[in-house]
Structure 1
C-alpha cells in the first residue's frame, strides 16, 4: 500500500535515526534514493511526490522500486512527516518549569490526530499531512487529556483550570456537545500568579480519561492545593459518564480527602485498580490504602478491597505509585511499581505473590542511591516497566544531595511475565521517560532524553520496541526516532506506524533556549 507524504520528509530523510537530532533545512542537496522505514520503504517519487510503501525488507537485501535501487541497512530509519506548531512556551522553560503537558490521541480510524496543548488549545489535524482542520482555545491554562469516543464522532478533553471543565466536542469544528464542571465535584482554586510556573498543577483536573467498550467515559478527577490559610488540601472522585454526559456511577459518594489520579482497567473482569495518594495536611480518612491501591467494580464503581502497601524503611516512610499499575482478574494479579524502586505483585485478595527490587536503595560513598519506578503497564501476560535515573531517597538525611554514583538498576526497561520471571531488559545510553503501547498492541514507545550529567543534545525522542520478538536486549529496539528537542512523556503510535511526539524547547548548557513547542509526526 502506498501513502503520499508531505515534502517535509525530503529535508529530513537523510538524518540518521541513530545519529544526532536535526532540523529541517529549506533545501535538500542529497540525491534522492530509497529510505528504509519500519516495515516500509520511502520512495522519493517525482511529480506525485514521496510515498511510503508498506512492505517488509531484510538487512542487506537489494531492492528496486520505481527505478531506484538501494541495499537495505541493518536498522530502519525514522523520518518526520509533518509538524504542528503549538505556540510559545519559552517563558515556562526559561523559568525552570517542567515539560509542557501535551495530550495526543489518534482517532479510531486513525485519519485524525487530536492534540491538547499546554497553552489551553485543542487542535485536530489531518493525520497524513498535518493540515489543521479545527482549533479551539478551551482554557487560559492547559488541556490535560484528550480521548476519542469509539465511533470517532466525539472528542473528549479535560482542562487543568479553576473550573476543570470536561468537554465533549464535535471533532469537525470543536463545538461543544456537552460540558461538565469537574470543579463542582472536587472544588476549585484560583489561577496561579503568572510568575508561578508550577502553580497550574495545583488546579483541579482529570489526570486520566478512559473510553470503555460500552461507550462510557471513566474519569479520575483530582485536586491538590494549598488554601488561603496555608493548609494543604486534597479532593478527588472517580466518575463514570454516559455518552450524553450523565453520571452513571461514582466513587466515593462525596469527594475524597486523597488523590485519585491513575488507574488500571480490566473490562473483561469488570474491575479497576485505582492509585490512592495523599498530599493533604492532617490525618488521612480511615480505611484508605494511602500509597496503595483500591479495587472497585467497573460497572458500578463499588469498592471491593483496599490493597495497602507497607513503606520500605529506613529511607522511605511512605509509599507512592505514579503510572505503573497493572490488573488482571484472569491471572488473579495486581502489579504496582513503587517510587522506592520495588515492583510488587499481589493477588486480588491482597496476598503477596512476588517482588522484584529494581531500584531499591543501595549504600554508596556519601549518600544512599535509588531509582524510582514511575511508568509500567500490563500487556497480556507481560508487565513492562522502566526505572528512573538515579536519585537520593527522599527519606535519607541528605535527599537534596547529588547521587555519588549511578544505581545499577537505573534507566532500565524490563519485561516480566506474570510469575515475576524476567523475560528481557534493556539499558541504553539515554534516560527513559514514559512508555505507551502502540495501537497495534505489540509496539512499545519509550520516551528518551539526555541523562542529566552528560548534557548531550542528540538523545531526544523515542525508542520503539517490538514486544512480540523473541530476541533479548538491544535487539528488541526496532528504531530510534530523534527530535530537535525533549519530548513529553505521552506519545501516541498509530497501527500503521505513525508516531506522534510533543517536543518542546530546552535550556542549553550556555543558558540559551533551543527548540520549538510542536508536535512532530514521524514514520
Structure 2
C-alpha cells in the first residue's frame, strides 16, 4: 500500500468513532489548518481525497507536501462533521471515520530557517538584533534582510532559498521585491547607507544609490557599542510601487555634542535607479522621517524629532505630510502639538498605515492616535481629520503618570489597527526620578478601528510586551518581544486573528474603555504561535495566506541563560 494510505490506516485505528483528539502524535493525525487539511505522508499527484459533509462530496487533490505531510486545500467550517475517503493510487479506498472541525485551526509551519549567529539581547536592557521582511505582491516570495548583512529570498511554498548575498559592512535594514518579482531591493544601515537593486534571476546588481552623499555620514563614538550602529545613515522604510521603489532615507546622530537629523524621501525608477523625485526637493529635512505608507495616489509620512526644539527653530516638530505619489509635491500636512505638561515633543515611530480605501491611521508615542480620510476634495487628496483617539495617554498611578506609546499600525480592507507598547512613565515624571511598577490599562493592546469613522470595533490585550502588527487580506497578526522588566512573563510569539469573522458592533462609549464589545474578540482569534525567543520582525503576505517572522536570542535576568535563536519562521 502507498505510504500515504498506510499512514491514514494508522490514523483510522486511532480516531475511529472518537474524533481527532484521540491521537496525540502530531505526525499521525489529521490537522485542520487555515485553508484546508494536513494529512500524514507525502501524496502523489493522482491521489484523490473525498470530503463529505451534509450529503455533499467534494474531491480534493494534493496541493503541496510540507515536512513529510500533504496539504489538501478546502474551506472547512467550525464544528462541522466531515467524512474523509482517500482513494489511493492503486484504486483501493482508505476510509477515515468522521472528524469534527475544531473551533480554531493550527498554524502550518512551512519551514524554520536558522540565520547567522548573532549576539543575544537582554531582558533588562534590550539590544536585540534587527531583521527585515517583505513579501512579493503575490506572496510566493519572501525577502529577508539580517543584522549580519545577509539578503536572502525564499520561496514561501517550499521554504527554499532562491537568492543570497552578503554585505559584511552593513545591516540590511529594509527589503522589498518588485511587483513583477524580477528584482529584490536592499536598504542598508551602514557608513554609506546604500540602496541596492538586484536581478532575481541573474543575481546581478542593477544599481545602487549612496544615501550618505546627501544625508552625510558619521562614525560611532564608541566602536564596540551595539547601539552606536544606529547613528549610521540608513533606509528606515521602503516600499515597491509598480516598477518603482519609494525610500525613506534617515540619518540621526550626534555631532559636536549636539543631536543632528537629516531625512529625505525618494522615488526611484526600479530598473535604473534614477530618482524620479526627492522630497524635500532642495535639501534634506532636518527632522526624522520615521515611517511612511502609500497607495496609488499619495504617500503619507511622519516627520518629528525626539528632543525639544532649539531656540528659534521654526520647523514643525511633528507632522503628517501628504505627498503626491507621482510628483512628490506636498498636497497637505497636519501638525500635532505636544501633549503638555507631560511631553515637550510629539514623537512618532512606525505608527502609520492606510486601509484599502484611503483612510489613514496614525499612532503617536505619547499614547494618542488619529484617523484621517485622504479622499480627494476638488480633485486633490487632503488630510481630513476623522477622529482623534485617546489610546493610552498618561493616567496617574499612585501619583505617577504612566502611559503607553502607539508605535505600530496596519490596515487592510476597510479596517485600521493600532498597537500600543508596554510600561512607560511620562517624561515629566521620569525626569524627576519618579517610578511605579504598573502598566497603563491600555498597554500592549491591539485596537481594531473602522477606517471610515475611526470607531472602535474590538480590542485585544497581549500577554507581554508588544513588538509589531501586520495585516493582509482577512488576516491580522500581532507579535511580542522581550519586556525590559524581569517580572513580566516571557511569552514570545504571534497572535493571529481572522478579520473576516464579523463581530456585532460595540455600543458607544468613551474610547477606548467605555461601552462594551458585543460578542467576544476571542471569536476572531485564529491561533497562537510560540517562539523560543522574542520576535524582532513580522510580515503578512498581501493575500493573507502566509506569515513570516524572525525571532532572536535573549539573555534572561541572570545574564547567563540564553533562550531563542536567530531564525526565520514561515507559516501558513
Query: TM-score category by the smaller chain?
Result: 0.7 to 0.9
Q: Tell me which of 388, 394, 403 is aligned to 1:370.
A: 403
> Per-residue displacement from partner, 1:379-401 (whole Å, max 9, x unpaired)?
34322112112311123255765
Q: Which residue number corresponds to residue 392 of structure 1?
A: 425
Q: Which residue number corresponds to residue 506 of structure 2?
A: none
Determine helix, strand or coil for the equivalent of 1:322.
strand
Q: Tell me which of 332, 337, 340 is aligned to 1:313.
A: 340
Q: Which residue number corresponds to residue 498 of structure 1?
A: 546
1:187-226 to 2 correspondences below 5 Å: 187-190=216-219, 193-213=222-242, 215-226=243-254
Cα drift, residue 30 of structure 1 = 6.0
Cα distance change on mapping 1:101 and 1:492 into 2, 3 Å: farther
Cα distance change on mapping 1:450 and 1:57 into 2, 3 Å: farther
Matched, 1:485 2:533: yes
Q: TM-score, normalised by structure 1?
A: 0.85
Cα drift, residue 63 of structure 1 = 4.2
Matched, 1:433 2:467: yes
Q: Which residue number corresponds to residue 455 of structure 2?
A: 421
Cα drift, residue 203 of structure 1 = 0.7
Cα drift, residue 488 of structure 1 = 1.3
Q: Tell me which of 437, 457, 460 is aligned to 2:492.
A: 460
Determine helix, strand or coil for the equivalent of 1:488.
strand
Give me the whole-angstrom Cα distance separating, in 2, the residues matched to 1:192 and 1:141. Answer: 17
Matched, 1:32 2:32: no
Q: Tell me which of 201, 224, 240 is aligned to 2:267.
A: 240
Q: Which residue number corresponds to residue 71 of structure 2?
A: 52
Determine helix, strand or coil for the equivalent of 1:158.
strand
Matched, 1:182 2:225: no
> Per-residue displacement from partner, 1:274-305 (whole Å, max 9, x unpaired)?
11112578638866332221222221111233
Cα drift, residue 136 of structure 1 = 1.1
Matched, 1:302 2:329: yes
Determine helix, strand or coil for the equivalent of 1:172.
coil
Cα drift, residue 181 of structure 1 = 0.8
Q: Which residue number corresponds to residue 50 of structure 2?
A: none
In terms of Rg, which structure is larger? Answer: 2
Asked whether the equivalents of residues 376 and 384 of structure 1 are also in contact (C-alpha less than 8 Å), the reply is yes
Root-mean-square deviation over aligned CA pairs: 2.9
Cα distance change on mapping 1:343 and 1:91 into 2, 3 Å: closer
Give me the whole-angstrom Cα distance separating, in 1, the residues matched to 2:308 and 2:343. Answer: 18
Q: TM-score, normalised by structure 2?
A: 0.78
Asked whether the equivalents of residues 367 and 398 of structure 1 are also in contact (C-alpha less than 8 Å), the reply is no
> Per-residue displacement from partner, 1:291-346 (whole Å, max 9, x unpaired)?
22122222111123331111111111210121222458976x65421111112245
Determine helix, strand or coil for the equivalent of 2:423.
strand
Q: Which residue number corresponds to residue 11 of structure 2?
A: none
Matched, 1:123 2:152: yes
Asked whether the equivalents of residues 95 and 197 of structure 1 are also in contact (C-alpha less than 8 Å), the reply is no
1:78-477 to 2 correspondences below 5 Å: 78-90=107-119, 96-172=125-201, 174-190=203-219, 193-213=222-242, 215-227=243-255, 229-243=256-270, 244-252=272-280, 253-267=282-296, 270-279=297-306, 283=310, 288-326=315-353, 334-345=360-371, 352-398=385-431, 401-417=434-450, 418-438=452-472, 441-449=473-481, 452=485, 454-457=487-490, 459-471=491-503, 472-477=520-525
How many residue pairs get aligned? The number is 489
Give me the whole-angstrom Cα distance separating, in 2, the residues matched to 1:477 and 1:174. Answer: 41
Cα distance change on mapping 1:363 and 1:302 into 2, 3 Å: same
Which runs of no fewer than 5 residues in structure 1 stay unpaired?
5-27
Determine helix, strand or coil for the equivalent of 2:522.
helix
Deviates more, 1:299-308 or 1:490-499: 490-499
Give me the whole-angstrom Cα distance separating, in 1, the residues matched to 2:456 and 2:248. Answer: 32
Cα distance change on mapping 1:151 and 1:88 into 2, 3 Å: same
Determine helix, strand or coil for the equivalent of 2:420.
strand
Give me the whole-angstrom Cα distance separating, in 2, the residues matched to 1:517 and 1:378. Answer: 28
Cα distance change on mapping 1:325 and 1:256 into 2, 3 Å: same
Larger strand percent: 2
Asked whether the equivalents of residues 445 and 493 of structure 1 are also in contact (C-alpha less than 8 Å), the reply is no
Q: Tell me which of 508, 516, 523 is aligned to 2:565.
A: 516
Cα distance change on mapping 1:432 and 1:281 into 2, 3 Å: closer
Asked whether the equivalents of residues 237 and 256 of structure 1 are also in contact (C-alpha less than 8 Å), the reply is yes
Deviates more, 1:306-315 or 1:376-385: 376-385
Give me the whole-angstrom Cα distance separating, in 1, the residues matched to 2:365 and 2:355. Answer: 22
Deviates more, 1:376-385 or 1:229-238: 376-385
Which runs of no fewer than 5 residues in structure 2 stay unpaired?
5-23, 45-67, 87-93, 375-381, 504-519
Give me the whole-angstrom Cα distance separating, in 1, the residues matched to 2:241 and 2:78. Answer: 41
Deviates more, 1:143-152 or 1:258-267: 258-267
Determine helix, strand or coil for the equivalent of 1:369.
strand
